[in-house]
Chains A and B, each alone.
Chain A
Amino acid sequence: MAKWGMVIDITKCNACYSCFIACKDEYWDNDYPPYSAAQPRHGQFWMDLVKKERGVCPCVKVAYIPVLCMHCDNAPCVKAAKNRAVYKRPDGIVIIDPKKAVGQRQIVDACPYQAIFWNEEKQLPQKCTFCVQRLEQGKIPKCVQVCPSRALIFGDLADARTDVAKIVASRKTEALDPGRKAKPRVYYLGVPKLFIAGSVVYGDTDECAEGVSVTLTKQSTGKSTKTSTNNFGDFEFDGLGAGKYSVKFECNGYKGKTVAIDLKTDKYLGAVDLTKRR
């Protein structure tokens, strides 16, 4: 028995929204009994993109995070439903029964990811089914099929040979907040964290300072990471958590410099001037 799951590599998503549109094409005005009733023309986003913009101009990073039903192993929507209107199949897919779920608005509210939508006309909660009707034909979900950057990877988590199983086994993936406790079956690579960046300048010549050693130390742990500036004098440390840090700059012929940062949101230091040693 397959155990379906998805890995989403956020660093590859180019925000084309093809997944978002293809999902509407597959489900608008199309019933797939007994798994899903037709999606209305507008207003439901079984596959949605959440934008995360970090930094300040001109040091900006942007990610679009595809969010869909996570087909949780410990799904709050299953618990919230009456009459077993929401159930988890042996292959891992969570289905809202389009007949039994009529009138059960609490199913929408149960989802920590806001991935369930209320169909006002049909009085029905609706969401992604991993395109179970396509899986039955040996096809992959529509959103995965149309993803040009292969940011969406789908497959059998129980089969160690599949890409999804290999990536999950690498332990580089994580679940999205806030529903980690529900044990989602959608795994993410490259979830945006916090960064510290800056542009180092030789104060005497006003040239970009290339090859400057930059050391980041987290004050609570004393743990350090090193990098060096590129040809634009730029450096960055990404994937950080909140907390107090110090950033130390070292360069032959120039005085060292240390900057203390209380990191709460992404920090771009702007131009960091180095003073020439006499």
Chain B
Amino acid sequence: MARSAQGEQVFTNCTVGGPLFVYVRNGKITRVEPLELGPDDAESWVIKARGRKFSPTRMANVANYALAERSRIYSPDRILYPLKRVDFNPQADRKAENRGTSGYKRISWDEALDILAKEIERVHKTYGPGAVLTTPSSHHNWGNVGYRHSSLFRFMGILNATYVDHNPDSWEGWHWGAMHMWGFAWRLGISSQYDLLEDALKHAEMVIYWSSDPESTSGIYGGQESNQWRSWLKELGVKMIVVDQHYNFTALNFADKWFAPRPGTDTAMAAAIAYVWLTEGTYDKEYIKEHAHGFEKWKAYILGEEDGFAKTSEWAEKETGVPAREIRALAREWARRKTMLASGSALGGGACRTAYGTEWARYMVMLAAMQGMGKPGSNIWTTNYGAPQNFDFFFPGYAEGGISADALNSAAGFQMIARGITKHPIRSEVNDPGGQHIPRILLPECILNPPQEWRGKGFCGTSPEYQLKKYKYPEDGFSEVKMFWRYGGSYIGTMNNTNRWVRMYRSPRLEFVVNQSIWMEGEAQLADLILPACTNFERWDIGEWANCSGYIPHCHYTVNHRTIVLQKKCIEPLGESKADYDIFAAVAERLGFYEKFTEGGLTELDWVKKLFQVTDLPKYISWEDFEKKGYFVVPLPKPYRSTPSLRWFAEGRKNDTPDWGPVGGGIASIPDAEGNLATQTGKIEFEAESLKRFDPDDWERPPVAKYIPSWEGHHTKELYSKYPLQLITPHPRYSFHTMYDGKDSWINEIPEHRVKKEDGRYYWVIRMNSRDAEKRGIKDGDLVNVYNDRAVVICAAQVTERVPYGMAHSYESCAVYDPIGEPGESPDRGGCINLLTPHRFISKNACGMAPNSCLVEIEKRRE
């Protein structure tokens, strides 16, 4: 065990925002530091470009919130004991309508496990398969053993619970739209980004951040690793354009020009750019000829030959509010400079979460294609993926199934299962393609108002066709849900129109609700029984920074050094809280499947050792050395061979990148041929064959992508006159969704995140233009009601020029739900801005969300 100069023990651990050294004295964490590489760790990469050498700092530039970990671990909101709602009596009246108001009393673990086991048995025996529902929050901790795809899937798979499928909430439009155009189903609709950092440093002349704020959203898990990449590009004189409704934190130091199209109209701006290129002949005609399918049909639409009006910059000015001449100037500059289109910072972006955001994502691919996507310096590149790395070295991502080895519910690809970590891979009888499903956005309707129908199941990592399959709830032969075992409490903050959630919880249609949670927040306070879990600083695990394989292969190329961390148990679990694995094991014991769940009594540390053994780590380091050091930096192969993403496609060659998908047969095998994408035609489909086959008349997602005005925007006259502010709710700058917000965390004190008012509460921030504020008599820092027909949320106003007139900006995902009256029916002062956003699907046949199509009014709060 390493010791600090001050005599503390020094542990290693990893978070959603990067790896940390953890200092402990007398069983208490005293402070954390970002992991710093030593001289004996693997060398850093060096990229030579334009006469300079670029090499990253030899430390983990972790996310800001990761540094607040100590305030989150020692939070007064920690649940330290099992709790039972005071008026919950499973033998008599359950008083479901009192969920959220009646309060809790401490009970023993024995009593809690008794109640839970009896309820599971009762529900199973009374109603049959599918009656127990489960779903976890994401990203509250890190690791391949204790995380949800691992321990939870193992347990819930054996239990045969119905699973609430997660939707791709950060990149909806790419998943439900772009996938039909360029394939990449095994990457959930997102293209690979191999070696694009080097390509950009060598060749790019412009970066356009379109609906993208990489300084804030970090390529999901990359912390602040890529800030230096953008600084280098800036030093090289690469021009940078920001298109976003907020003068965001990337614009701050990097924008040479800021465009702020009205929310929901980004596609119109893109169409007008295409119009300039088509009419001025400034696109890569040869590339389009070789690599595009259906281009002429789409061209006819843009030129107005199909619907009678051309998509000119003057037309786009009326839609977007951006001056026509500036749209033309941008188009011309783009045509003359090699441009990296950073559309969405992890190929997400707010525009892909608007009404018909599918079309925006498709237009981004179209524009990039028209300028030779894949040629040197010309690509879709987020500026936070694509560091040189060793891609042969196998270490699993957290979404590959872990100790469950559940391959079906790994979102996309997986290698882990083939390595044999467990003797008995789990296959659930309910959470299975032939079983029962519920899409997350539609959960309250499924519970309160069945039956329901929709298309697509969660993450469709198999093929675009997977999205198109029809589902219903309840599924034939399965029970309706009667019991909900929720893990965590984030959805009131992260889903849409979330008073629906509160109403669902307060309904007797859910006979029993148990919440397994670390903190008392959000939905946890609506449960009948609460099981206290602990953080990954209080148990053993193993994980790699930013490796989310199972969702996105090789996503760790968002960080500068592949870093695999032994997540050591730094302290004992606080109070009577337990590791999730131990909670599941205890319940399994009551229900009689302890041996099966724990594979004969394995502890978390035993699983960590097993997992270590099936990775490539033992080829480089012994368990003993790994345990002593606490981490391993994967060395680069020598010599390093650079294979920029889509270069092979642009050059009509076989794919030479380390990407291992697609994995299936049939259509998906074609890409192994020369230069083919995983689409039906092998080309970029301006007319999507999969959508044409599915429904050529689906005007909400037509085979040829179009600009479709929002159902909640400036064209919806009646609503717009009542609620004249267009609200956008991007992913937050200072927390990871609800994680690190609330909890009396230090993050609350950041005035861009929350503002402390006279009553001692920290209020959620909403940004509005000074002219809008003046009209309403609102001053900076005032408490305001943000409202529409769906809800009222009390926020602190930030009066700014960083948001245009007629718009409002507030980050989604607050952890705190604090209604001032009846839950579900009264204003929330916690800041759950998603109480206001619509829950309509992004497109009628795609069950994604569109929170950025939201109209509100704001008034000064008077009390």
Chain B minimum-CB-distance residue to A208: B329
CA distance A231 to B744 in the complex (A): 48
If the complex has contacts A41-B71, A145-B33, are A21 and B260 also in contact, measured as CB distance less than 8 A?
A: no
Residue of B nearest to A16 (CB): B64
Return the chain B residue nearest A45 by Cβ.
B749
Cβ–Cβ < 8 Å partners of A230 in chain B: 256
CB within 8 Å of B: which A1-57 residues = 11-18, 20-22, 24-26, 28-30, 41-43, 45, 51, 53, 55-57
Is there an interface contact between B805 and A231, defined as CB atoms closer than 8 Å?
A: no
- Check: B282 CB closer than 8 A to any chain A CB: no
The complex places the Cα of A63 from the Cα of B253 at a distance, in Å, of 8
A190 to B746, CA, bound (A): 28
Within 8 A of B (CB), among A51-84: 51, 53, 55-58, 60, 62-64
Q: Mark B781-822, 1 if CB is under 8 A from A, else 0.
A: 000000000000000000011111100000000000000000
Q: Which residues of A contact B391 (CB under 8 A)?
A: none
Nearest-Cβ distance from residue B309 to partner chain A, whole angstroms? 20
Whether the Cβ atoms of B64 and A53 lie closer than 8 Å is no
Stretch of B224-232, B497-505, B550-558 lying at the A interface: B224-232
Bitwise interface map of B from 691 to 708 toward A, beta carbon under 8 Å scored 1, else 0:
000000000000000000
Q: Which of A24, A57, A63 contacts B769 (CB 8 A)?
A: A57
B860 within 8 A of A: no
List the one stretch of B320-328, B510-518, B639-647 in contact with chain A. Answer: B320-328
For window 232-278 of A, CB contacts with B under 8 Å fall at 232-234, 271
Counting CB contacts under 8 A, is B95 at the interface? no
Across-interface contacts of A14 in B (CB, < 8 A):
215, 224, 227, 249, 252-253
A146 interface residue (CB < 8 Å to B): yes
> Taking the complex as formed, is B826 at the interface, i.e. its CB lies under 8 A from any CB of chain A?
no
**A13 cross-chain contacts in B, Cβ below 8 A:** 253
Report the bound CA distance from A62 to B769 in whole Å.
15
Q: Let me know if A103 is at the binding interface, CB within 8 A.
A: no
B37 at the interface (CB under 8 A from A): no
Most interface-central of A14, A43, A142 (chain B CB within 10 A): A14
| Contact assessment for A145 and B34 in the assembled complex, using a CB-CB cutoff below 8 Å | yes
**Are B329 and A233 interface neighbours, CB within 8 A?**
yes
A residues 102-147 with Cβ under 8 Å of B?
Answer: 133, 137, 142, 145-146
The count of residues in chain A whose C-beta lies closer than 8 Å to any C-beta of chain B is 51
Q: Tell me which residues across on chain B come within 8 A of A150, comparing CB atoms.
A: 57, 228
Q: Which of B67, B228, B801 contacts A146 (CB 8 A)?
A: B67
Chain B residues with CB below 8 A from A212, complex form: none
Please name all residues of chain A whose beta carbon is closer than 8 Å to the beta carbon of B326 when the two chains form the complex: 199, 208, 232
Asked if residues B71 and A58 are in contact (CB atoms below 8 Å), the reply is no
Contact check, B64 vs A18: say whether CB atoms are below 8 A apart.
yes
When C-beta atoms are compared, the residue in chain A nearest to B745 turns out to be A21
Task: Let me know if B227 and A21 touch, CB within 8 A.
Answer: no
A232 contacts B257, C-beta separation under 8 Å: yes
Closest to A57 in B: B801
- Note all chain B residues with C-beta closer than 8 A to A201: 325
Collect the chain B residues with CB atoms within 8 Å of residue A29's CB. 30
Interface string of B245-256 (1 = CB under 8 A from A): 001010011001
Bound complex: CA A196 to CA B669 (Å):
58
Given contacts A21-B747, A234-B257, are A62 and B247 in contact (CB under 8 A)?
Answer: yes
Which of A41, A57, A207, A234 lies in contact with B804, CB distance below 8 A?
A: A57
Contacts of B5 in A (CB 8 A): 137
Closest CB of chain A to B168's CB: distance in Å? Answer: 26
**CA A160 – CA B35 in complex, angstroms?**
30
Q: Is A227 an interface residue (CB 8 A)?
A: no
Q: Is the CB of A18 within 8 A of B224?
A: yes
Check: B300 CB closer than 8 A to any chain A CB: no
Task: Flag if A60 contacts B227 (CB, 8 Å).
Answer: no
B462 CB to closest chain A CB (Å) equals 38
Write the nearest CB–CB distance from B125 to chain A, whole angstroms.
49
Q: Which of A81-102 contact B (CB under 8 A)?
A: none
Give chain B nearest CB distance to A249 CB in angstroms.
17
B13 CB-CB contact with A under 8 Å: no
B678 CB to nearest chain A CB (Å): 36
B329 proximity list for chain A (CB < 8 A): 207-208, 210, 231-233
In the assembled complex, which residues on chain A have CB atoms less than 8 Å from the CB atom of B525? none
The reply to whether A25 and B257 form a contact with Cβ atoms under 8 Å apart is no
Nearest B residue to A149 via CB reads: B227
Check: A206 CB closer than 8 A to any chain B CB. Answer: yes
B342 at the interface (CB under 8 A from A): no
Apart from A15-B252, A145-B34, A208-B328: 17 A-B pairs, beta carbons within 8 A: A17-B64, A21-B747, A24-B71, A25-B71, A25-B746, A28-B70, A30-B30, A53-B802, A56-B770, A57-B802, A58-B804, A60-B802, A62-B802, A63-B252, A142-B33, A230-B256, A231-B333
Q: Which 10 A-B pairs have the closest CB atoms?
A: A148-B224, A148-B61, A208-B329, A21-B67, A57-B801, A137-B5, A16-B64, A18-B64, A24-B746, A148-B227
- Partner-B contacts on A (CB < 8 A): 11-18, 20-22, 24-26, 28-30, 41-43, 45, 51, 53, 55-58, 60, 62-64, 133, 137, 142, 145-146, 148-150, 199, 201, 206-208, 210, 230-234, 271
- A-B contacts, 28 listed (Cβ < 8 Å): A12-B253, A14-B215, A14-B249, A14-B253, A16-B215, A17-B734, A20-B750, A25-B67, A28-B746, A29-B30, A43-B749, A55-B801, A57-B803, A60-B802, A62-B247, A133-B6, A137-B6, A145-B59, A148-B224, A148-B227, A199-B326, A207-B325, A207-B328, A207-B329, A208-B325, A231-B329, A232-B329, A232-B330
